Each structure stands twice: as structure tokens, then as C-alpha cells.
Amino acid sequence: MAGEWTGKASGVVVAGLVGSALGAGPVIFYSLPLLMRPVTQEFHWSLADFSVVQGIASITVAIVSPFLGYLTDRWGARAIMLPGILAFGIANFLLSLLNGSLSELYAFWFLVGLSAAFVGPVAYSKLISAWFYRRRGLALGVSLGVGGGIGGALMPLVVGPIILNHGWRAAYWTMSGAIIVICLPVAFFLLREPAGWRQREKAALPTDAVGMTAAEARKTRNFWLLAIAQFLGAIAVLGVLAHSVNLLAGRGFSPSIGIAVLSAAGLTSIFGRIISGFFLDRIDSPRVSLIFFLAPLIAVLLLQYGGSPPLVILGGVILGLGLGAEGEIVSYFISRYFGLRSLAEIYSYTYGIFVIGAGMGPFIFGASFDSHHSYDQILLIAEIGMAVSIVLMALLGPYVFPAIKDMAVADGATGQK
């Protein structure tokens, strides 16, 4: 519905795009593989010692996100996002001050996780879902997906040379500066709630007219299918992503090939998110998600067994297609299965479960490598986990709040004809 793309609504999409490009995903997940080796070598830490930082951040995000989701549903996204962006920039700057103490490393990463909870996709998803109904999938894909893809593609290309030429501390200075100087002003000027959103929230009765409460959603089969599928996928995919450079180096590929794989994954994640958003808006079935959950499994097999640079880079390309779509698919499904009433709070639970998996993945991969001096065992387990997540997504039922019903509710709540 072209009329949804008003100036203010488009501004929110742009703010989400910029925020996602400099958000927790690109800044943490796409920089960590590049920073892992120089930081651990300087301080003589093991891979497991360093990989646990993502787990600390992820657990912190998981604990804080439901509370922030509750506040977002009541205060609005803007009140949550602006202080969060500033705090996230400061937390990344603190990482440049590391002096070799593991306790300091873990304390700083706790602050990264705490601030990352404010700048994650929960608040953006709530805000974009309030602005868009028939084109929600595309809007989410462009805002969260394209932004995250651009950030994921550029992060290795920008951070990699900075690390090689100026050291890893300069990389943290650069990321921190970009968050504060670019992302914060864009959010300040463009993030806006739709007119009358508070009145629509207050008019959210009866419950089944606009959506479920978080307590109601947690009692449904679809909620747990989504949560578990996302959890298993996060462990496998983010574990592979975090260790991709080291994995390929162990197979004899140069660091430049590892950087190329990361950049390819980030770049193609843009297309994965746009393509998934396009089909989500046009195919009224959750089955559209299956191809995007299958893609990471194919990608990991190529990274593990591909014998030439073109094959492993192709693995990065396919990994990006799946990685780019999975997050937006789940946020879209939350709106279609549970409605808008408590979207931020409900999504915060599934997002929290996702980030726990995302934090566990790199640590499990690092501990397995330290123990076996090989990634073969953990890659087999990851591949089985991804196959199970595909089966779980296939078991999802039909949408409870399809686009036509959602639009009718919005029109009725706002008095449109």
C-alpha cells in the first residue's frame, strides 16, 4: 500500500536503517571475528576466554530486553532509543581502554550488553509495525535488514584495515565515534511515533481485537516454535560467523579470504532481507521462511568442505542470505501471530532467547576448538541444530493476525474510513 510510505514513516525507516547499520549486530558480530586474534595475542588469552564476552553481552541483553520491551510498549521507542545509542557508543569506547585484565574485559562487555539492549531491533520493530500494515514485511526488511546488511558488509572492510594499520584500539575508537556522531543525530531527528499511538494503545480492548498480551503469547505453541528455532539457529550461525576467519585460516586460507567471506555475508544479507520482506508481504504463509532457514546450513557445509576461495566465498554469500532474513522473519511473525498490542514485550522475549544463543555460539565454538584443536566436532553439532530449526519452522500454523485484519483494526482505532 503505497500510501503508507509517508515522509514521517519513511524517516522512521531511514532511522532504523542507520541504527541497524551501527547497531549491536554489525558492531559486535561482524567486528568480533576480526578483533579476536589481535586482542587475544596481545594479552595471551585463550579463544574461550575471549569468546565468552559475547555470552556476557547476550545474557545481559536477554535479561534486560523484556523490561525494555514493556517500557517501549508504554513510553514509546524514542524514549528508549536515544539514551541507549549514546550509552552504546560510550561502552564501545571503553573497550579501547583494556589493559590485560579479564575481569575488566568482562565488566566492559557487560556494559556493551546493557546498552545493546536499548539499540536492538525490539524498539525499531514496534515502531515500524505501528507505521506499516500491508507493507510491514518490506519496511522491516529495508529498515532492520538493509541497515544491518550494510553495516555487516562495511564493518570488515573498514575495521579490518584499521586493525592492520593502526591497531585494534583504533577500531574501537572508530566504531564508537560513528555510533555517537552519525547514529544519534539521525535518531534524534527522524524517530517518531505515529500520531495518536498512545490512544490506540489505551483502546486495545478487547484483547483479541488488536493482539495478545505477553502472558497469552507465551502459552501458545507458535511462540515456542519460533523461540526454539531461533535459539538453535543463533548458536550455530553466530558461532560459525564469529570463528569464520579462524576456521578458514586453519584450513589454509589467507586472512583476506576470511575478510572477503565476512563482507560477502554482510552484503548479501541486504538482499536476503529485501527478498524475504517482499515475499512475506505477498505470500500469506509462514512456509516462505523455510528457504531462508535452509540457506545457513548449506553455507556452513561450503565453509567446512569448500576447497577453493570461490567456494568458501560462495558460502559467505549464502550465509548472508539466511542470516539477513531470519531476524526480520521472526519479528514479522511476532506481529502476525500475536498482534501489535504487546509486540515489543513479546518480541523482547524471543529476541532475548536469540541473543543468549548468539552469545553461547562463539563460546561453545571456542571451547570446542581449544579442546579438540579442530572445528569438525562442533560444526557437525551445529549442522544438526540448524536442521532441527528448519523442522520447527515448518510446524508453524497459519497467521492469527493477517495483514487485512491488522489494517482493519488500525483503521477502526484511528477513525479512518
Mean model confidence pLDDT for the chain: 83
- What CATH number is associated with residue 262? 1.20.1250.20
Segment 136-190, tens digit of pLDDT: 777 877 787 778 778 877 888 888 899 989 999 999 999 999 999 999 999 999 9
Question: What's the average model confidence in pLDDT over 187-198?
Answer: 77
* Angle (CA) 209 282 411, round 5°: 30
Would residue 2 count as lying in a domain? no
Q: What is the largest CA-CA distance in the chain?
A: 66
What pLDDT sits at residue 324? 56
Segment 253-290, tens digit of pLDDT: 987 888 888 888 877 877 777 787 778 877 778 888 88
Would residue 107 count as lying in a domain? yes
Would residue 197 count as lying in a domain? yes
- With a cut of 90, say whether residue 104 has pLDDT above it: yes
Would residue 329 count as lying in a domain? yes
C-alpha cell recorded at residue 72: 517501549
Dist CA 66 CA 44 (whole Å): 37
Dist CA 260 CA 153 (whole Å): 9
* Number of CB atoms found within 10 A of residue 218's CB: 14
What pLDDT sits at residue 301? 94
pLDDT tier at 105 (50, 70, 90 boundaries)? very high
What pLDDT sits at residue 413? 43
Would residue 95 count as lying in a domain? yes
- With a cut of 70, say whether residue 314 has pLDDT above it: yes
* Residue 259: CA count within 13 A, CB half-sphere: 16
H helices within 203-254, ranges in order?
207-210, 214-218, 221-250
Would residue 82 count as lying in a domain? yes
C-alpha cell recorded at residue 239: 558461532
Domain with 135 in it: 8-414
Total domain count for the chain?
Answer: 1
pLDDT tier at 43 (50, 70, 90 boundaries)? very high
Would residue 41 count as lying in a domain? yes
Higher pLDDT, 205 or 326: 326
Kind and range of the H or E element at 205?
A: none
Bridge partners, residue 339, by sequence:
211
What pLDDT sits at residue 186? 93
Q: Are 239 and 409 in contact (CB under 8 A)?
A: no
- Percent of the chain scoring above 70 in pLDDT: 90
Segment 60-103, tens digit of pLDDT: 888 888 888 788 877 878 888 899 999 999 999 999 999 999 99
CA distances from 123 to 67, 76, 261, 333 (A): 12, 8, 30, 16
Would residue 86 count as lying in a domain? yes
Instruction: Read off the amino acid at residue 115.
Output: S
Q: Which residues have C-beta within 8 Å of that of residue 134, sequence separation ≥ 6?
A: 1, 4, 281, 403, 407
pLDDT tier at 126 (50, 70, 90 boundaries)? confident
- Percent of the chain scoring above 90 in pLDDT: 30
What pLDDT sits at residue 405? 47
- With a cut of 70, say whether residue 20 has pLDDT above it: yes
